[in-house]
Amino acid sequence: MKKYFLFFIAVLFLYNPTQLKAQLSLKDSSAFAGLISLSYAFQFSGGDLAERYGNNSCIGPSFSIKTKSNWIIGADINFIFGNDVKLYDQIVKSVAPPDGYVIARDGTITDVKMFERGFYTSFKLGKIIPVFSSNPNSGLLIMGSAGYLQHNIRIEVDNNNTPQLMDDYARGYDRLSSGFAISEFIGYIYLSDKKLTNFYAGIEFTQGWTKSMREYNFDTKQKDDSQKYDCFIGIKIGWIFPLYKRSPEKFYYN
The per-residue pLDDT for range 182-229, each reduced to its tens digit, is 999 999 999 987 777 899 999 999 999 999 999 999 999 999 999 999
Look over the chain and give the mean of its residue pLDDT values, rounded to a whole number. 86
pLDDT at 29: 74
Q: Which of 39, 45, 20 is nearest to 141 (CA)?
A: 39
As a whole number of Å, the end-to-end CA separation of the chain is 38
The third-level CATH classification (topology) of the domain covering 38-244 is: Porin (2.40.160)
* Residue of 205 and 100 predicted with greater confidence: 205
* Residue of 104 and 51 predicted with greater confidence: 51
* Residue of 161 and 189 predicted with greater confidence: 189
Residue-wise pLDDT for 105-118, tens only, equals 877 888 889 999 99
Find the range with the poorest average confidence among 28-37, 82-91, 137-146, 220-229. 28-37
* Residue of 99 and 66 predicted with greater confidence: 66
- What residues contact 7, with CB distance under 8 A and at least 6 apart? none
φ, ψ for residue 168, nearest 5 deg: -65, -30
pLDDT at 135: 86
* Residue of 218 and 249 predicted with greater confidence: 218
CA distances 15 to 32, 89, 192, 241, 249, Å, are 19, 47, 17, 9, 25
pLDDT at 253: 41
User: pLDDT over 90 for what percent of the chain?
Assistant: 63
Distance CA 102, CA 85 (A): 17
State the pLDDT confidence band at 2, using cuts at 50, 70 and 90: low
pLDDT at 3 over 70: no
pLDDT at 97: 74
pLDDT at 108: 81
State the pLDDT confidence band at 6, using cuts at 50, 70 and 90: low
* Residue of 21 and 31 predicted with greater confidence: 31
State the pLDDT confidence band at 19, using cuts at 50, 70 and 90: very low
State the pLDDT confidence band at 246, using cuts at 50, 70 and 90: low
Inter-residue contact 244 to 19 (CB < 8 Å): no
pLDDT at 24: 52
